[in-house]
Chains A and B, each alone.
Chain A
Amino acid sequence: MSMTVNGAAVSLPDDPRVSLLDLLREYLHLPGTKKGCNQGACGACTVLVDGERILSCLALAVQFEGRSVTTIEGLGAPGSLHPLQQAFIEHDGFQCGYCTPGQICSAIGMAQEIRRGVPSHVTADLCTETISLSHDELRERMSGNLCRCGAHNGIVDAITEVFAEEDILAEAAE
C-alpha cells in the first residue's frame, strides 16, 4: 500500500482518518502544503494528484494508493524555482506567503484544465474546444484559492505571464 509523493514512494497511513493534507504535513514533514480551514473552503491545501488539482484536506490519504502526488516542494526549491514560483516573486503575488503554495499548485492544475477545454462558469460557449486564458477565466478558475493579504493582482499577473504562452501550457500538461 503506497503512493508517490514528489517522486518518492511513501506508505499509506495506518489510520484511515488521516487526510492527505495531514499525511503530508504531520507524517511526511512536507509542511509546504498549508492548512487554512481544513474544510475545503480556502484552497491553501491544493496539491496535484496525477496532474489534477485537489483539496488535500478533503481527501483521505488511504484513497490514494498508486497515485502520484506533487506538492509545492516537488515543483521547485530556492535556487531551482519553477517558472511560476519565480513569477510570483517578480509580481509580488503574495504577502504573508501562507496561501502561496496552494495558489501555485492550483494555477498549474488550472492551466491544464484550460488546455483540456474544461469550461468554467464564465465560459460563454460550452462547446468550444479552445478556451483562452482571459482575465475573467483566470480569476474565476482561481477563486477557490483565497488570499487574505490581497495579493490577487500580483497572482493574476504572475499566472498570466507564465501561462499566456501556449507552449508552456503544453509543457505543464505533460
Chain B
Amino acid sequence: MSISKDARQIVESAVQGVMAKAIALAPDGWIPGGEPDPLIRSRHGHVGKPVSRLDGPLKVSGTAPFAAEFPMQGMVYAALVFGTVPKGRIAAIDTEQAESSPGVLSVMTYRNAPRIAPPPVFMSGPKAAGGDNLPVMQDDAIHWNGEPVAVVLAETQEQADHASSLVHVRYQSEPAQTHFAKAKAAGTRTATFMGQPLHNEIGDAEAALVRAPVSVDVRYSTPRHNHNAIELHAVTAAWTGDELRIHDASQLVAHEAWSIAQMFGIPEDKVVVTSPFVGGGFGGKCLWQHQVLAAMAAKASGRPVRLVLSREGVYRVVGGRSLTEQRVALGADREGLLKALIHTGVTAKTASNAMPEPFIMATRSAYASETISLDVQAVELDMLANTFMRAPGESVGTFALECAMDELASALDIDPIELRVRNEPKNEPISGLPFSSRNIVEAWRTGAAKFGWDKRSSVPCSTRDGEWLVGMGCAAGTYPYYRMPGGAARITLTHDGQAIIDIAAHEMGMGTSTAQTQVAADRLGLSMDAVVFRYGDSTLPGVVLAGGSQQTAAIGAAVSAAHHSLVKALLKIVGNDSPLAGLKPDEVASGDAGLCKLGDPALHETYVSILARAGQTSVTVTAEAPAPLETQHWSMHSHAAMFCEVRVNSVTGEPRVSRFLGSFDCGRILNPKTAASQFRGGIIMGLGLALMEETQFDERTGRVMNPSLSEYHVPVHMDVPEIDVIWTDIADPHTPMGARGIGEIGITGTGAAVANAIYNATGKRIRDLPITLDKLL
C-alpha cells in the first residue's frame, strides 16, 4: 500500500485506539460474552460428541460437488497464458495462430477484454476480497512474473490448452526489484497490519539485554510457502442477462460477490457466488485473477466458462506465504525470568497488497518480560502478491520465538517447559488486558506426562539407536481468538418441527456443517436430524470469512442472535392458551423441540404445537451478531504445548519425526472427532514447514521455480507418524459455546518443536527452514 494509505490507516487506528480503551474499561456485562453462553453449561447435548461428518457419505463416494463439477449448457473451457518477465510491458501479442486453432472460440487479452475496475484489496473494506489491487488484464503493463496475459476459450480443454501454446508474446522489460537483500539495502518500512503498526516497545529492551546475566541473540529465516490445497483453484462462471453466477472454491463467498460486483460496476445482488465444498483452502481460496478472468471471458463470449488453474497456474496466480528473516534476543536472570524479549525482522510484500507476514503476533501475548521490543519491517518486491496462509505470522513467528526459548533454556540449564512456565504472564504483556481463559500450564503438564517428557536427556546427542540419533523437543503454540464483524444468520422453523439455518459460511474440511448442526440442535432443543444447516452461498445472510480461525465463533454468535429473535417471534404468536402465555423472552429457553419456562421445564410447548395453534406453516427470523467487542475487552488466545521426537540418521542426515503430541487449550471442543483432525492437520502442515516446504523463488527473474507438487514437497503418508492430540476442554467463558477456533493453532509451535528435538538429537541448531538433510551433515 502507499505511504498515504498507511498514514490514513494509522490515523484511523488512533481513533480506534481511544475506542479500544473505552471497550477495555467497560463492565463485562456490556460486552458480548460478558454473560457466558448458556450452551457452556449444557453437558448432555450434541455438543462435545464425536459425531461423524454429515457430508461424509458424499465425500467418500465422490458425489460432493466441487467448483469444477457444475456442468452448464454451452459451457466452454479456458486456458491461461502466463507472462514471463517480472515487470514491463507487452510489446506485442500475436493471437492469430491460437484463434485459428481447431475448437477455439476466442482469445482474450488486454486489447479486447471487458473494461472493469481493479479489485478492492483485502482489508481495504468490510467485504473487500482481492489478493491485490492490480488491474486485471486491462492494459499492457506486467506486474509480476507469471501474470496472466491471455485467456484462450475453446470447446474442449484439450483444444484450449493446445491453443494457449500458440499465443506468442514479446515483452519490453523494465527494471524490477526481485532481490530481497538488495531491497533491504535500499530501505525498509515498519509494516502495518489490520491498521496497526507491527511495532511494540515496553521499556528499553536492548539495554536490558546487555545487562541480563544470561542471554541469547539469534537469527532465524523462513522461506516462502504455498498452500497447495489438493483441489486446483477452479471456477465455473456464467452470465444470465445482467446476473453473474459463479461456482467457486471460496473461503469468502459474500466478500467475493461484493468485490466482483464492484469490479464490474453492477449491484452486489447481481453476483451470486456458491461454494458448497472447497477442496482445501488454508487461506489460499480467496479472490484472485482466475475468478475475474472467467467472469470477463464469459461476459465477452456469451458462453458459460470453466476455468481450472493448472498446478503451475496456482503458483503463478494465487499468492502464498512470504519469507521472513527474524532476530530473537532473550535476556534472563539466573532463574530464567525474562528481563528482555526482542523479536524483530524483515519480510517482503508487494506494493499492491496490505499483508506483511506479521511474525510478532504470537510474541505479544507469549511471555512476561520486564522489557519487550517487537518490530516487523517490510520491503516491497515485484512479485505475485503474498497472502495469508494458515496462521499467518504465528506459524513462522513461533518457530523463531520458541527455538530461541529452547536456546535460552539450554544456556540456563533449565528444563524448557519449566522456563516457559516461570515466564507465564498474569495479563497480556502488551495490552495489559486480562486473559479470557489461559490454561497453557495445564496443557504443558498433561502433555509432558502423556508424551513421557521425563525420559528426555537434556544432554544433546546422547541417545542413539543404531545409526539413528534420537531426540525430544517441545515448543508452545498459540493462535488468537477472532470474531470478525458482519456475522448474520437466518432461522426458518417449519410446521413439522424442522429448523433450517442459513448463513453464508464455508466448508473446506473443517466439518462446519457437522459441528454447527450439533450446536444449532442444542441451541434450539432439537435432534440433529431436525436441523438443516445451509451455507456456501453468497445470497444467504452474513459476511463470514472462513479465515483467522474465526468461522466457528462467527457462526455461533450469529445463530445465537437469530435464536433470540426466534424466541421473541414465537412468543408473539403463542396466544393465550399456551403454557408459555405471558412469558417474556428472557424467561424462556429452548428444549425438547420447543420452548419452556426457565427453571420450570413442565411449562413447555413444542414448536410444532406453537405453529399449529398460530396457523402458520413457518416462522423465519434473521439477526446479526453483536459487534465483536470481546476481543478488545479480554486478551483471547488459544494455546498449545507441542512435543516432538525425531530420529536423525547419523550417516545421511535424514531427519524423521517418529512421535508427536499436541496438548491443546482451545476452549470447549465441539466435536472431538473433527477437532482432532483439525489439530492433526495443522501439525502435519507444521511438519512440512519444519522439514521440507519451500517455494523456490528465482531472485534474478522473480519467478517461482518449483510450481508443482513434485518439486514443492508436502508431507506424505511415510512422513507422518501417529500424532497424539489431547485438550483441556476448559470452556472459555467469554466466547460463543465456550469455544475458540482450532483450524490454525496446530501449525504454530510445531516447527520449533521439531527443530528443538533435532537439536536434542544432534546438538545442531538449524535456524533456517526447512531443515533438510544437507543442513544436518
Contact = CB atoms under 8 A, between A and B. Distances in A.
Nearest to A138: B717
A92 B709 contact: no
Given A17-B158, A36-B232, A149 B717 contact: no
Given A35-B232, A38-B310, A73 B279 contact: no
Interface residues of B, number: 64
A155 B709 CA distance: 20
A79 B57 CA distance: 8
Contact of B717 (A72, A73, A97, A139): A139
B229 A152 contact: no
Given A37-B709, A72-B62, A98 B229 contact: yes
Interface in A73-105: 73, 75-79, 81, 85-86, 88-90, 92, 94-101, 104
A73 B57 CA distance: 12
Given A17-B158, A78-B61, A150-B720, A92 B684 contact: no
Given A17-B162, A145-B717, A153-B720, A99 B230 contact: yes
Given A17-B162, A152-B720, A98 B52 contact: no
B63 A73 contact: yes
Contact of B681 (A89, A142, A149): A149
Contacts of A95: 280, 508-511, 674, 677-678, 681
A31 B717 contact: no
Interface string A19-58: 0001001100111111111111110100000000000000
B388 interface: no
A38 B717 contact: no
B261 to A, nearest CB: 28
B523 interface: no
B66 A149 contact: no
Contacts of B56: 88-89, 94
Contact of A97 (B60, B71, B709): B60
B57 A31 contact: no
B708 A39 contact: yes
A76 B63 CA distance: 10
A143 to B, nearest CB: 4
Interface in B12-60: 52-53, 55-60
Main secondary structure of the interface of B (DSSP, over half): loop
Which of A33, A34, A98, A136 has the most chain B CB within a 10 Å cutoff?
A: A98
Contact of A96 (B509, B676, B683, B722): B509
Interface in A94-140: 94-101, 104, 136, 138-140
A59 interface: no
B66 A41 contact: no
A143 B61 contact: no
Contacts of A149: 280, 509, 677, 681
Contacts of A152: 680, 684, 715, 717, 720
A62 B66 CA distance: 27
B105 to A, nearest CB: 16
Interface in B260-289: 277-282
Contacts of A96: 59, 229-231, 277-281, 508-509
B709 A146 contact: yes
Nearest to A76: B61
Given A89-B57, A96-B277, A153-B722, A147 B230 contact: yes
Interface in B395-410: none
A89 B53 CA distance: 7
A150 B511 contact: no
Contacts of B708: 37, 39, 41
A167 interface: no
Contacts of A42: 230, 709
Contacts of B684: 150, 152
B63 A32 contact: yes
Contact of B723 (A75, A136, A153): A153
B576 interface: no
Given A34-B230, A92-B52, A146-B716, A98 B280 contact: yes
A92 B714 contact: no
A78 B68 contact: no
A173 interface: no
Contacts of B510: 95
B342 interface: no
B308 interface: yes
Which are the 9 A-B pairs with shortest beta-carbon distances? A32-B62, A97-B59, A95-B509, A98-B279, A150-B681, A96-B509, A150-B684, A78-B57, A72-B62
Given A17-B162, A89-B56, A152-B717, 15 more contacts: A22-B158, A39-B710, A75-B61, A77-B61, A78-B63, A79-B57, A86-B60, A94-B59, A96-B230, A96-B281, A97-B509, A139-B717, A143-B717, A143-B719, A150-B684
